[in-house]
């Protein structure tokens, strides 16, 4: 099956009544006469903190989309990442990340230092990151296919190759790019994680995460950590996420087209000092993005508003259609103030180097008519800036 078909039908459905949609098993436990029953992949099926059949269609489809052998669904993206890191990291481990990563991820890895885990950070450009990787020789390499919020694009195959040459385990966050644009496991990654709250579920109405694995032995230990930490996705959330996944390709492809149009509009606006979007030739990683992604460059556009913090706040308050908020990836367009949300845990000195400043706005482009999105941006910019 092609990937768009996998998103719709890439799972087994063994419902005995022939239901088109996989049923929700809203139960805490399963019948157990002596030994526990086994799920389709051989894990104990006795208690829903450990395994629940509702999750299996979603896990199968996401594993197929990412080119992995299987996946585990979690109750948030951070639960997925936490479990992956705890399954991999030891007291003397070194993990390399980019200076620009999701703030909660950086906070998590920094907190693990009290257990002897050493986090190292490198600037998010391919050459710098690979050079640092070769010098530091980490046990685990972690990066995002598109960073947040300055949308840097590392050369995923090159970074993975450099890490593998040194024997490192590679974990990739593919939330912003989605499997529509790239499949890191096909380039040698060991784990791929998503906040499924974003594009996978796609409707700003469910929190979740997933970790896709490249080989079975990684799955078994990760499954134990999910069970111990209690991070499993709940049945109703799994149902909603699978429903959202079925429209991923049509949603994301349209959002990418609209985002490029929005970026081009903003790049010509006199009240905008800079537009950051991998689909523009002005972006430092445009050539890499084009090589990896083809003609689609994601659905997030960042830009700088002339006038600084006070003007940006007025801009947010002047929006009529676009919603000011802290997330992305849904059908509604969301405008975010990075220094006050996802990027706030990044140290101030790192934010300055990265260009995450008080004039920066991140826009997640939704499925509204692109002309309505542009008109709302235009009126907000004109209304608040003299």
Active site residue 49: yes
Token pair belonging to 366: 């939704």
Q: Which of 248, 132, 128 is nearest to 194 (CA)?
A: 248
Q: How far apart are CA 184 and CA 204, in angstroms?
A: 25
Q: Which of 149, 91, 83, 152 is nearest to 122 (CA)?
A: 152
Residue in 11, 56, 70, 102 annotated catalytic: 102
Q: How far apart are CA 122 and CA 137, in angstroms?
A: 13
CB 305 within 8 A of CB 315: yes
Q: Which of 254, 382, 224 is nearest to 306 (CA)?
A: 382
Q: How many CB atoms lie within 10 A of CB 287?
A: 13
Q: Which of 297, 226, 311 is nearest to 263 (CA)?
A: 297
Residue in 49, 118, 246, 314 annotated catalytic: 49
Token pair belonging to 249: 């390709």
The sign one gets for the Cα dihedral 212, 151, 155, 167 is: negative
Residue in 152, 198, 226, 362 annotated catalytic: 198
Q: Which of 169, 152, 191, 120 is nearest to 292 (CA)?
A: 152
Residue in 11, 121, 152, 173 annotated catalytic: 173
Q: Which of 364, 367, 4, 1 is nearest to 180 (CA)?
A: 4
Phi first, then psi: give them for residue 132, nearest 5 degrees: -65, -40
Q: How far apart are CA 23 and CA 19, in angstroms?
A: 7
Active site residue 102: yes
Alpha carbon 18 to its chain centroid, in Å, reads: 34
Helical axes 370-384 vs 309-318, angle rounded to 10°: 130
CA-CA-CA-CA torsion for 38, 186, 279, 80, nearest 10 degrees? 30
Token pair belonging to 71: 């996946």
Q: How far apart are CA 358 and CA 372, in angstroms?
A: 26
Q: How far apart are CA 58 and CA 127, in angstroms?
A: 36
Provide the strand spans (E) within 55-133.
Answer: 70-74, 94-98, 118-122
Tell me the catalytic residues: 49, 102, 173, 198
């Amino acid at each position: 099956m092609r990937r768009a078909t996998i998103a719709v039908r890439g799972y087994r459905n063994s419902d005995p009544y022939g239901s088109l949609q996989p049923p929700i098993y809203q139960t805490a436990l399963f019948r157990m006469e002596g030994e526990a029953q086994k799920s389709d992949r051989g894990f104990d099926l006795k208690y829903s903190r450990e395994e629940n059949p509702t999750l299996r269609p979603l896990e199968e489809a996401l594993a197929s989309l990412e080119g992995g052998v299987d996946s585990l669904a979690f109750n948030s993206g951070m639960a997925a990442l936490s479990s992956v890191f705890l399954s991999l990291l030891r007291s003397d481990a070194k993990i390399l990340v980019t200076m620009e990563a999701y703030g909660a991820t950086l906070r998590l890895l920094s907190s693990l230092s009290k257990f002897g885990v050493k986090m190292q950070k490198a600037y998010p450009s391919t050459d710098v990151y690979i050079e640092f990787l070769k010098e530091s020789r980490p046990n685990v390499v972690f990066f995002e296919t598109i960073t947040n919020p300055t949308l840097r694009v590392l050369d995923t195959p090159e970074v993975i190759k450099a890490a593998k040459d040194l024997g490192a385990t590679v974990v990739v966050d593919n939330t912003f790019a989605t499997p529509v644009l790239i499949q890191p496991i096909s380039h040698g990654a060991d784990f791929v994680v998503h906040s499924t709250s974003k594009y996978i579920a796609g409707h700003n109405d469910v929190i979740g995460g997933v970790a896709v694995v490249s080989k079975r032995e990684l799955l078994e230990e990760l499954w134990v950590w999910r069970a111990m930490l209690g991070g499993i996705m709940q049945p109703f959330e799994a149902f909603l996420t699978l429903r959202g996944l079925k429209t991923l390709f049509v949603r994301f492809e349209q959002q990418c087209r609209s985002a490029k149009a929005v970026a081009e509009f903003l790049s010509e606006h006199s009240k905008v000092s800079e537009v950051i979007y991998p689909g523009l030739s002005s972006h430092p990683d445009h050539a890499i993005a084009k090589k990896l992604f083809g003609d689609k460059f994601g659905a997030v556009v960042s830009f700088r508003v002339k006038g600084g913090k006070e003007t940006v706040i007025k801009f947010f308050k002047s929006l009529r259609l676009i919603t000011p908020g802290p997330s992305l990836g849904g059908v509604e367009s969301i405008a975010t103030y990075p220094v006050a949300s996802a990027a706030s845990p990044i140290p101030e000195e790192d934010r300055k180097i990265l260009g995450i400043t008080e004039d920066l706005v991140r826009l997640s482009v939704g499925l509204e008519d692109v002309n309505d999105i542009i008109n709302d941006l235009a009126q907000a910019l004109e209304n608040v800036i003299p």
